Structure 1
Amino acid sequence: MKNSFRQTEILEIARRVGKVTVEGLSEHFDVTVQTIRRDLTELDEAGHLNRVHGGAILASGTTNLAYDARRSHLADQKAAIARACAAAIPDDCSVFLNIGTSTEAVATELLRHKNILVITNNMNVANTLSSNPDCEVVVTGGSVRRSDGGLIGTMTVEAIRSFKFDYAVIGCSAIDEDGDVLDYDIQEVGVSQAIIAQARAPLLVADHSKLLRTAPARICSLANIQAVFTDQALPDQLQDACQRWSTQVHVAEIAGDPLSDLPGKLARTAGKL
């Protein structure tokens, strides 16, 4: 296999699972570890990956991935997380769904819910749930962010503060090792903070790649979240912190994951739903 083809596939694997290991890739491609190390070094120098001990992670920065790239990134994992989150939301309640591809996946899983009120600042969420006759959809005002159909700004925050909802489902761009929930867009952070303040039960949906990234703006701490829905077990230190904060952690099962045989991949554990 030529370097360019192998490196393209390495990058695709990294986008799907967040982190790649030298030994795992060596076995996957049936090449030497020295060959993989060269590939990872070249990808690091090109700015696509960041080299870490034993492998590499997705490169982080001050801007998020494009919307289409985020939508396809870890799609199976997001779907499983969304199913777990939606299962925790009962019929006959009010829910806020924030901007993000993970929250859009939750909207799809709410299509069969009965007698629910969904408030959202996400035009894609509103379009999805408009096909559920048992769901009343309220869209906040605000400035439309053309890149992803999100509504942000002062008008959005003011509209959110006029509600008190039972549940709020938010996403994020990154989760720091100390439990801080982070994002790239400062305006979106203000909206997320308003949502959390108006929710009786704030829920976070975040795949494991968010633990491998960083972002400059702080939304809140996981201590302010009632439950986290993810696809892999949190690091022990962060899991212990969530227990101290009484923040529930639910780990969704991913059926038929084609990369589950890669050595070095984090083990999944099934959470109680």
Structure 2
Amino acid sequence: MSRQKSGARREQIVRMAASDGLANVEDLSARLGVTPSTIRRDLALLTAQGKLARTYGGALSLEPHPEASLRQRLGEAYDAKRAIAAWAARQIVPGENVLLDGGSTTTALAQELTSFTNLSVTTTALTALDVLAEAENIEVIVLGGRLRIISQSFVGPLTEASLERMSFDRAFMGADGVRVDRGINEKDLEQTRLKELMMGRADHVYVLAHGAKLGQGPFHAWAVMPPRWTLVTDDSAPPAEVRRFEDKGIEVVLVPAIQASAD
């Protein structure tokens, strides 16, 4: 198991413990597709790092999962996000109208788009706007509204109203977590409502989420998914979680994160 995959797995264990309150060795083993002994070693390390407290048969979250700022998330799973963004960019055809959600992976996608020509990009994200502001051959449209500082993106009724007169060839969505039974997880209800509206305006919907986010729901706001959509993740994704999505007929794309370091 590579160091990168081990790190992503441990990040997911912390998220699971925060979401469920208590992380059980056997349950973690089944959900993450590794042996119980591997999970026990992970829990021992996370406990030593002060991220969890050991209990009989598992570990306990020390505090509810906080919402990380976008600035904090930009450095997480960097290679995986770059690889996912590179794959997503290859799906876009010149002349299309593309919608970018807020988030660190969609920001990485915006960076991939700077060399495009004959493209229209609409976004709710300040970070994507900053990246694309000097891309002379891209039309950039911003869905304004109330700025949510922690996520550096716009939400609210003004943002939603902007969508009513628009449609898109492709929408690329971010997520704090994504579950096959509930959809996209976010901290804020306005965010999840906006995501549903955005996905409803696009012909093709892609959720860009690195492996540690699969099966996670650290918060209590959910965006219901459209009938057809594609989950794009990296090869650190737990096989058991990937199977859950595939068993429901959801297309899953596994991108080798290691490729990003060689780009």
Please give the range of the TM-score, normalised by the shorter of the 2 chains: 0.7 to 0.9
Structure 1 Cα separation of the partners of residues 10 and 134 of structure 2: 30
Give, in whole Å, the separation in 2 of the partners of 1:158 and 1:229.
28
Give the whole-Å Cα distance in 1 for the aligned partners of 2:203 and 2:84. 21
Indicate if the aligned counterparts of 1:204 and 1:225 stay in contact, CA closer than 8 A: no
Kept after mapping to 2: 8 A contact 1:181/1:219: yes
* Conserved 8 A contact 1:19-1:58: no
TM-score (norm 1): 0.73
Between Structure 1 and Structure 2, whose CA radius of gyration is higher? 1
Write out aligned runs for 1:1-273 (5 A): 13=7, 18-19=12-13, 38-41=44-47, 48-49=51-52, 61=64, 63-178=66-181, 180-211=183-214, 213-214=216-217, 215-221=219-225, 224-232=227-235, 233=237, 235-236=239-240, 238-239=242-243, 241-242=245-246, 244-245=248-249, 247-255=250-258
Q: Deviations over 1:126-184 (max 9, x none)?
A: 11112221110011120112223211100000101210111111111112253622111
Give the root-mean-square deviation of aligned CA atoms.
3.5
Say if 1:253 and 1:179 are closer, same or farther in 2 by CA, change over 3 A: farther
Alpha-carbon deviations, 1:91-115, whole Å to 9, x = none?
1100010111111111111112221
State how far apart, in whole Å, the 2-side matches of 1:177 and 1:51 are: 29
Aligned equivalents of 1:137, 1:57: Cα separation in 2: 45
Contact conserved, 1:16 with 1:73, CA < 8 A, in 2? no
1:73 Cα shift? Answer: 0.9
Query: C-alpha separation between the residues in 2 aligned to 1:177 and 1:249?
Result: 11
Whole-Å Cα distance in 2 between the matches of residues 226 and 63 of structure 1? 28
- Partner SS, residue 133 of structure 1: coil
TM-score (norm 2): 0.75
Q: Counterpart of 1:144 in structure 2: which amino acid?
A: L
Q: Percent of counterpart pairs with the same letter?
A: 23
Q: Does the C-alpha gap of structure 1 residues 166 and 177 become closer, same or farther in structure 2, counting only changes over 3 Å?
A: closer
Matched pairs, number: 235
Instruction: Tell me the distance in 1 between the aligned counterparts of 2:228 and 2:63.
Output: 24
- Do 1:58 and 1:212's aligned partners in 2 also have CA atoms closer than 8 Å? no
Structure 2, gaps ≥5 residues long: 15-33
Runs of 4+ that moved beyond 6 A: 50-60
- Code of the residue aligned with 2:253 in structure 1: it is H
**1-structure distance, mates of 2:79, 2:85:** 10
Q: Cα offset for 1:225?
A: 4.3
CA distance in 1, matches of 2:44, 2:207: 37
CA contact (8 A) 1:175 1:210 kept: yes
User: Larger RCO: Structure 1 or Structure 2 (Cα < 8 Å, ≥ 6 residues apart)?
Assistant: 2
